[in-house]
Amino acid sequence: MSRIEGVLKSLKEQGRKALIPYITAGDPHPDQTVELMHTLVAAGADIIELGVPFSDPMADGPVIQLACERALKHNTSLRQVIGMVAEFRKVDADTPVVLMGYLNPMEAMGYREFADAAAEAGIDGVLTVDLPPEEADQVAPLFAERHLDPIFLLAPTTTDDRIRAIAEHSSGYVYYVSIKGVTGSASIDVDDVARKVAHIHELTALPVGVGFGIRDAKTAAAVGKVSDGVIVGSVLVNTIAENQTDPAALNQALTDLLHPMREALDNQVN
């Protein structure tokens, strides 16, 4: 059982939902990323999605695009991001870490070298936005051999046949994109999410995490009620942008944002 599977199984047994925050590695500065990861865990994170900065983040809106720009100004590379996770693991051996990004940096590094380095650093899963499962033949066996969970996206428009196909190639969890558009682009329709997630559960036994549109404790609680976990990205990244020159204020601001979400999710436990 992978670290991701273990955490999600334990949460389900407790009747709790996963809180999965996203930040971009290297934003606002590479030296701060590991500390921010620990701050997220202290504030209630169950799994961390760590973004690999990329120059053309096609699925992301302006907030995360700017985070990538800030990180790339410091020349934050995929190798450095992997090193950040290795540093994080010196203190935290329990919290799963999922790398989220795009294919090009992984391809440039080399799939085998990336898989070896990721597994050695203690990375648990990889979500590659622009790599559909039918084109993942080169990386899938490498990930499987090293117990790296491949995580794929599902959209509101994804057909039943494709949901089944994606789930067959996935492990850990599937990421349901709650809105049509890029990150941070619209308000979430919880009733629609509830219907779609219930339908996904009919087609796969994998846990379903929901992202895009989670902005505060109220939306986190509403989405958590109908899913297995909530994925919080743009609002955290925007908070980083607003506090990028003051590390102490930044850590406090992230805590002030994430901890109420944790409490709201836990208040739903029967």
Cα distance between residue 191 and residue 202, in whole Å:
17
Residues 6+ apart with CB under 8 A from 41: 48, 92, 95
Active site residue 130: no
Catalytic residue of the set 5, 27, 46, 60:
60
- Among residues 92, 90, 98, the alpha carbon closest in space to that of 49 is found at 98
Query: Does residue 42 contact residue 19 with C-beta atoms inside 8 Å?
Result: no
Active site residue 60: yes
Cα distance between residue 76 and residue 26, in whole Å:
6
Structure-block tokens of residue 34: 């590991």
Cα distance between residue 22 and residue 61, in whole Å:
14
Catalytic residue of the set 27, 49, 124, 149:
49
Cα distance between residue 203 and residue 194, in whole Å:
15
Catalytic residues: 49, 60
